[in-house]
Amino acid sequence: MTRDIFLADAHLLCPDTENYQQLLAFLETQRGRMRTLYILGDLFEFWVGYRHLVFTPYIPLLEKLRSLHCDGTQIVYVEGNHDFHLGPFFRDNLDCLILPDGGTVEIDGKRVFLCHGDRINDRDRGYLLWRGLLRSAPLKAAMALLPGDLTWRVALWASRVSQKGNAAKSKRSLPLGLLEKFARDRLAQGCDVVITGHFHQPLQRNLDQGLLLGLGDWITQYSYAVHENGRFELKTYAP
């Protein structure tokens, strides 16, 4: 298996939704073909890892990931702004490489920088402070004490509030200048490819020093990237 798949921003919530079903179907088509699955954040609408609990609506996807792992696919997970503190299931059941803030991996001799993308705008200090608070050790410990059903009810409420925001993201102009500057900085540091999620719009841009890929989303676009035979390419799943 030499094919690698990159996807982000599915914001999954309920197993009976179309994007959830289409993701399960897509992952099944990759069985036996996929060397590594790179998830670049916000696969879930909400995830925080409990020690002995997973949220019931996510069990079909988690079982699919475990099945792929058992078939030899490695899973790399870059935490997003909706899914963090991934917890024991990903570490212990999937032997997953977790990158809380992204980072550089080597793929067939190429240095690939992976990130969710929510930290690209370093001028948004308010968001960055909030992000740091959510990921802090004291808040992680406090969240672990909350009953799972209460956490899930809060997540459902937050999802309803953010749905309009997700819809707006698909229409928002892409901050191309900001993305290109971020990518050029990483390429200048020796990376060959920069791949990001978060912005909900697919983008493939050849820069002077390397390649910039924005993954789009798996809400309505079903866009993803594939690395195969030395090439990185954006694609769209069409069942």
Quick one: pLDDT at residue 152?
58
Band (pLDDT 50/70/90 cuts) for residue 175 is: confident
- Global pTM value: 0.88
Question: pLDDT digit string (tens) for 107-153?
Answer: 999 999 999 999 898 888 887 787 777 776 776 666 666 656 656 56
How many CB atoms sit inside 10 A of residue 9's CB?
Answer: 28
pLDDT tens column, 3-33: 999 999 999 989 999 999 999 999 999 999 9
The mean per-residue pLDDT over the stretch 161-171 comes to 51
Model pLDDT, residue 174: 77
Choose the weakest-confidence range: 30-39, 127-136, 180-189, 221-230.
Answer: 127-136
Question: Are 4 and 227 contacting, i.e. CB atoms less than 8 angstroms apart?
Answer: yes
Q: How far is CA 186 from the centre of its chain?
A: 19
Q: What does the pLDDT look like over 45-54, one tens digit per residue?
A: 888 766 656 7
Per-residue pLDDT, 128: 76
pLDDT digits (tens, 9 = 90+) for 69-81: 999 999 999 999 8
Question: What is the three-state SS of the chain?
Answer: CCEEEEECCCCECCCCCHHHHHHHHHHHHCCCCEEEEEECCCCECCEECCCCCCCHHHHHHHHHHHHHHHCCCEEEEECCCCEECCCHHHHHHCCCEEECCCEEEEECCEEEEEECCCCCCCCCHHHHHHHHHHCCHHHHHHHHHCCHHHHHHHHHHHHHHHHHHHHHHHHCCCCHHHHHHHHHHHHHCCCCEEEECCCCCEEEEECCCCEEEEECCCCCCCEEEEEECCEEEEEECCC
Is residue 144 within 8 A of residue 50, CB to CB? The reply is yes
| Rounded-to-integer distance, Cα 214 and Cα 6, Å | 10
Mean residue pLDDT of the chain comes to: 87
Residue type at 21 in one-letter notation: Q
| Confidence tier at 171 by pLDDT (50, 70, 90) | very low
Q: 112 near 102, Cβ under 8 Å?
A: no
CA distances 145 to 88, 130, 140, 159, 171, Å, are 16, 20, 9, 22, 38
Return the pLDDT at 170: 46
Pairing of strands 231-236, 223-228: antiparallel
